[in-house]
Structure 1
Amino acid sequence: MECSDCKSNLLFRTVRHCSEPDSSADIKNLEALLNAALRYESGLPLDEEDLQLLYQSGSSPGGARPKALCRKETGSLWIAKFPRHNDTFHVESIEAATLELAKLSGLSVPEFEIQDIGSRKALLVKRFDISDHHGGRYHMISMQTLLQAQGYYFLSYHDMFDVVKAHSYQPSIDVPSLFHQMVFNVAIGNTDDHLKNFCMLHKESGYCLSPVYDVLPDLYEKREHSLSFFPGAGFLPPDRKILQRIGKDLNIEMTGRIIDKVLQVVSGWKNIFQQYHVPESEIQRLEWSINRRIESLLFNDL
């Protein structure tokens, strides 16, 4: 059953409720949505209006981060990501800045924007599984499902490269793109790089790698990545020599150029973070971690 609002691949409902559901909220209700989500997280009572608003928008206030599905006046669907009541970073601004860095490095990212909501900010990310041309949905499947993984923290990037080679209609593009994303994650410190944060879309010509999403630096000094970088390896970030070796094994001719481009862009991370109004105190907290990662990628090529 077709449903442009849904993010899953199957939708079930009873016959008597066969009209097209609208599980998105009007973009004008962002402030009310944010306040309802914050009250929920804080354990405060919610009135019927709050519950209806959260239910209608498909909000997930109890998840890793509160979010809601919103519809703009043009009809386009966007995921609104909200701050949590106990955040110690301006996560939405930092994620927007990180997406901007990914875009500047040459990676494909969805449309995104920061929207002020009173004294707080929300990050709006356009749904990339919906076609701008015909309005239908592209089938989207996570790497966790493709790898039939019971958990999504204990495999490697090598496993994902095998999936892309097997299923992409354009492996000559998608394999270097996944390598590019891996290098970017290493450079910026995106340690939340688990299998659910990578997926493939089925477009007119077949499956291809999705745009980059859910990227952040290592805010809480985890250091270890969620995925290892090749079988038998640990989860700490690899240096340039190891990345060069991985690129060579994948027959990626532009390995050095990809690493250099990512380095060039990520080295200017402070300016981009400032453009997105990340507080200077938070930039200072991230400086040691990001700069150390950049330095590890400055060795000579193999």
Structure 2
Amino acid sequence: MNPPYRGRFAPSPSGPLHFGSLVAAVGSYLDARTQGGEWLVRMEDVDTPRNVPGAADEILRTLAAFGFEWDGAVLYQSARFEAYAAALAKLIEAGLAYGCACSRKEIADSATHAAIDGGLAYPGTCRGGLPAGRTARAWRLRVDDAAELAFVDRLQGRIAQHLESDVGDFVLRRADGLFAYQLAVVVDDAEQGITHVVRGADLLASTPRQIWLQRCLGYPVPIYAHLPVAANEAGEKLSKQTKARALCPDMAAAELLRALRFLGQPAPDELARAPLAAVWAWAQENWSFGAIPRQPLIALPA
């Protein structure tokens, strides 16, 4: 018997929500609610230097103003470092994680090719042990390239990577002592009992690493769906870095309608003059997962 549906929306408090954030929230929310599932909110603030003071509270106020209703208390990654440390200790004890002394410059000098996410594939310098006189700066997870790691995404189809050549042994705890996103998200999804992950396709390349880590820790693997990502007229993903405009609660109904149409939902023109509650009522009654575009990136009209 399959466990009950549990989904989540997990923004980073590095700035306000924008239209791209809204698309991810709407897609995950409606997928959960139309299947009778729960929808949780998690604040992914593990990378503390990037957190903007007050941004987490502003994100929650914006979600509420847009009519989102989440289940249970909001989970904050910044309060969960002990859980991440315990998971890392388990991996170290099992011989699956190891200390790495390499600096970024050393990796750049020795790497032979780029990783699938645009960085450099780690060449495995410290995999057999630390060089003499060196101490660990970071901790990495061993990957296995004996076979490809593949999964079927509900939207993007079959995705496969050879982790050793595509990314290399990846970081679990950084040189600055902070835990990496990949470890935090896997531990949190398992602890919160997340069964379905619906998020932007910008995270698609991370998913094989997360599945490998889930297997190493003995965690269940959620069902994944990666939504198309909204891009500006230059083809850049909407983000804080590309100066994406913050959502305006006064325009909640119009922005929600825009997000629904971006996700392929044939919302009627009369909803443009309807109140927010009416837009949500139409969305929950007419939501069609099959109508969502399958491409990973969609440019918004200028």
Identify the TM-score tier after normalising by the shorter chain.
under 0.3
Q: TM-score, normalised by structure 1?
A: 0.26
Q: TM-score normalized by structure 2? A: 0.26
Higher relative contact order (CA 8 A, sep 6+): 2
